[in-house]
Chain A
Amino acid sequence: KAGVTQTPRYLIKTRGQQVTLSCSPISGHRSVSWYQQTPGQGLQFLFEYFSETQRNKGNFPGRFSGRQFSNSRSEMNVSTLELGDSALYLCASSLEAGETQYFGPGTRLLVL
């Protein structure tokens, strides 16, 4: 079974721009979660989607948003990029929320 895939793998943007990241979960997994990983803060939860609904959200500003499609694929969007948004963005999928999460390789975003 194919794992979680994320595109693009690397991205360079400038301050003020917006970015959209994509995640395809493991086949059959309906829950998709997004995390931000930085050297200073480690892995931090952004939000979780299940059946196209955002059910939970971490402590991030409204510039961070996402959505999930009927095939469980998910996108996250960051608007008005700031230098501090430079990070590895990880997507994880699970059968149901609260169950074992499997991570994709991440999208490394650099904001200049």
Chain B
Amino acid sequence: QKEVEQDPGPLSVPEGAIVSLNCTYSNSAFQYFMWYRQYSRKGPELLMYTYSSGNKEDGRFTAQVDKSSKYISLFIRDSQPSDSATYLCAMNSGYALNFGKGTSLLVTP
């Protein structure tokens, strides 16, 4: 079993919808939680970074961490076609990031 599980999708939503992306993890040592966005043929781009349970908001993006359930989420409000990309969750227990396999999101006009 991988330490970080993420549904690969694909997930297709209409423009303006609220998108919910999720990851579960098994390693209690993970302390830092990140969401990266990766467009086709590009490197991952950091979207959100949190280190505690609770919510963190940045514009249309909200990251949620529940350490007791070992569950993290990323919410995207008012989704746009430009949000179409692969979203990767990542967790850090020290030196290396442990990634989920990514969820492919398509926002249709």
Contacts and interface: CB of A to CB of B under 8 A. Distances in A.
Interface of A: 4, 6, 33, 35, 42-45, 48, 55-56, 58, 90, 92, 97-98, 100-106, 108
Interface string B35-60: 01000011111100100000000000
Interface stretch (B13-21, B63-71, B77-85, B88-96): B88-96
A42 B100 contact: yes
Nearest to B88: A43
Given A42-B100, A42-B102, A43-B88, A97 B43 contact: no
Contacts of B98: 45
Closest 8 CB pairs of A and B: A103-B43, A42-B101, A43-B99, A45-B96, A56-B95, A97-B95, A105-B43, A103-B44
Interface of B is mostly: strand
A55 B94 CA distance: 11
Interface of B: 32, 34, 36, 41-46, 49, 88, 90, 92, 94-102
